[in-house]
Amino acid sequence: MMRNAFLLIFGICGLVFLNGSCKNATVEQVSTDTPDFKFLEYDINQMQSGYANGDFTIAQVVDAYLKRIAEIDQQGPALHSVIEVNPEALAIAAALDVELKAGKKRGPLHGIPILLKDNIDTHDQMSTTAGSRALAGSHPLQDSDVASKLRKAGAVIIGKANMSEWANFRGEMSTSGWSGLGGQVKNPYVLSRNPCGSSSGSGASVSANLTMLAIGTETNGSIVCPSHANGIVGIKPTVGLVSRSGVIPISYTQDTPGPMARNLTDAAICLGSLVGVDSLDDKTWASEGKFHLDYTQFLKKDGLKGKRIGLFKKPFGRINKVDTLMNRAVAFMKSQGAEIVEVDNIGDDAVGEHSFEIMLFEYKDGLNKYFKSLGPDAKIKSLEELIAFNKSDSIELEHFDQKYLEMALAKGDLTDPKYKKALEALMLGSRKNGMDKVMDSNNLDAIIAPTGSPAWHTDLLNGDHYTLGTSSPAAQAGYPSITVPMGFVGELPVGISFFGRAWSEPVLLEMAFAYENGTKHRKAPKFLVAD
């Protein structure tokens, strides 16, 4: 039971990885001839300079990205990373051009194309579905706090990203990146490999230059795993730093949205636009006085100097090539003035069981509240109706079951003593006797670990193949984690994670940026096909 629960938790939101070696394969490159797309690997500062210099307009940029989505995502390699494009995107871009021409620039995200994971509400012509056919055509009655803040910042929401359906918390033997509505997301580095999840489309689309930014969500691994597997940067904030109102939930205790980008600077810029207290999400109340509207101030080239960093040793010994990359990363950090302290364990396996129990209780409560928020005309009005729909649908249960939905339905409400006991045990085990204990006893600024192993082959028959993932300590505690590219195993990217105490995003950004800036491992994908 212990091991099963451990593996189960590591599977939620696509956290865990690969079952095998990464043998060299004969590969060929899929044609991705998009000669008119001149914004390959552009960053936000480059884009803003182009706007300021009159080199191109926001409408031209958005049009170029929409055309690339059509060519790369829907044709060509057919990544299936975008589940829907925004029919109003060009009109929004044109309006922002008018503002810019009149001297009104809302901030660094003005005119920047962005995709939202399709469990984040938008009150517009787009649906919000969590990838489920049960919510096809579902139109929330208002924007999520995330969408509202991004619009105010001048970002152009160009579409919704495909995802592991119901954030990969629907059933056993699931395949990350698959949804009944959007199909299977592919990894843009090697198309037969998995993009991880559950923010699969967010990770693949950013990596493939179908958008400049994307917003993912994480309960346990759903931002950091697809960021790692797709060779990009992901920030999983402290729970409460970014509002969850208008986000289809799994866990009130662990859920959080966060930015995904090709570099840490862009992700930090985006994070500053997302933070703030939201009256509709009481977790954000604790962020008062702890958030920053500008996180780029913490991006320091010497950010590793003088830092005392814990090296999480438990993931070592599973995949030699990942160990090699990690050892190189450690050597670089030492060369930059960091002190490395080995850490064997963070908490115990029982924490995973408590986390899973809490998720089941909170899933039932959260989903029923979400369905109610859709109004009296909603197609699905309860968790029970969702389960019934899936049983009647020809596609939804074709590849895997809905056991976790059924387990959640069987739970009581949040006054149940079993829930309260599990929550108390989780907080004690993941925080006081987990992350806080390890960091305090070793006087650490952060802990580092390989985010995961190279992407596994997508397997709709047997589901995801688990070997290595390190998101749980931070996710279960509700603490922040940042992953940046660490290198490649063959053609497949691997990330390194920096995680630490609650509200420690500034110090994590310092270290992650110094590492990213000094190593520069990001490479654009080639859309390879293995023989």
Domain boundaries defined on the chain: 2-18+80-523
- Count, in order, helices (H) and strands (E) of the chain: 16, 15
pLDDT of residue 390: 98
pLDDT of residue 31: 53
Mean pLDDT, residues 89-94: 98
Q: Which DSSP string do the residues of 150-168 spell out, in sequence order? A: HHHTT-EEEEEE--SGGGG
Q: What is the value of pTM for the model shown? A: 0.95
Q: Report phi then psi at 36, rounded to 5.
A: -85, -5
- From the list 244, 247, 298, 241, the residue with the least C-alpha distance to 480 is 241
Greatest distance between any 2 Cα atoms in the chain: 63
Helix 505-519 to helix 264-274 angle (10° resolution) is 160
pLDDT of residue 2: 30
Angle (nearest 5°) at CA 407 between 406 and 413: 110
pLDDT of residue 223: 99
Beta strand residue intervals within 132-283, DSSP E:
156-161, 178-179, 183-184, 213-218, 233-236, 256-261
Say whether 497 is catalytic: no
Q: Buried b / exposed e across 221-241, counting CB within 10 Å, b at 16+?
A: bbbbbbbbbbbbbbbbbbbbb
Residue 14 pLDDT more than 80? no
Indicate the SS3 state at residue 415.
coil
For 2-18+80-523, the fitting CATH number among 3.20.180.10, 3.90.1300.10, 3.30.1950.10, 3.90.600.10 is: 3.90.1300.10
Instruction: Give the number of other CB atoms < 10 A from CB of residue 323.
Output: 14
Say whether 144 is catalytic: no
Task: Yes or no: say if 495 and 484 are a contact pair by the CB < 8 Å rule.
Answer: yes
Distance, CA of 285 to CA of 243 (rounded, Å): 10
Name the active-site residue from 138, 144, 176, 198: 198
pLDDT of residue 32: 54
Q: What would the two tokens of residue 8 be? A: 């189960």
Task: Yes or no: say if 510 and 173 are a contact pair by the CB < 8 Å rule.
Answer: no
pLDDT of residue 367: 98
Helix (H) / strand (E) containing 311? strand 308-312
pLDDT of residue 234: 99
From 5-14, 258-267, 488-497, the region with the lowest mean pLDDT: 5-14
Q: What would the two tokens of residue 485 be? A: 């590219």
> pLDDT tens digits for 168-199?
999 999 999 999 999 999 999 999 999 999 99
Average pLDDT value for the chain? 94
Say whether 222 is catalytic: yes
Mean pLDDT, residues 470-491: 98
pLDDT of residue 12: 45
pLDDT of residue 21: 34
pLDDT of residue 349: 83
Kindly indicate the confidence band of residue 530, based on its pLDDT and cuts at 50, 70 and 90: confident
pLDDT of residue 1: 29
pLDDT of residue 34: 55
Task: Yes or no: say if 388 and 371 are a contact pair by the CB < 8 Å rule.
Answer: no
- From the list 114, 85, 70, the residue with the least C-alpha distance to 206 is 114
Q: Helices marked H in 212-349 — which ranges?
A: 224-229, 264-274, 320-335
Distance, CA of 490 to CA of 23 (rounded, Å): 8
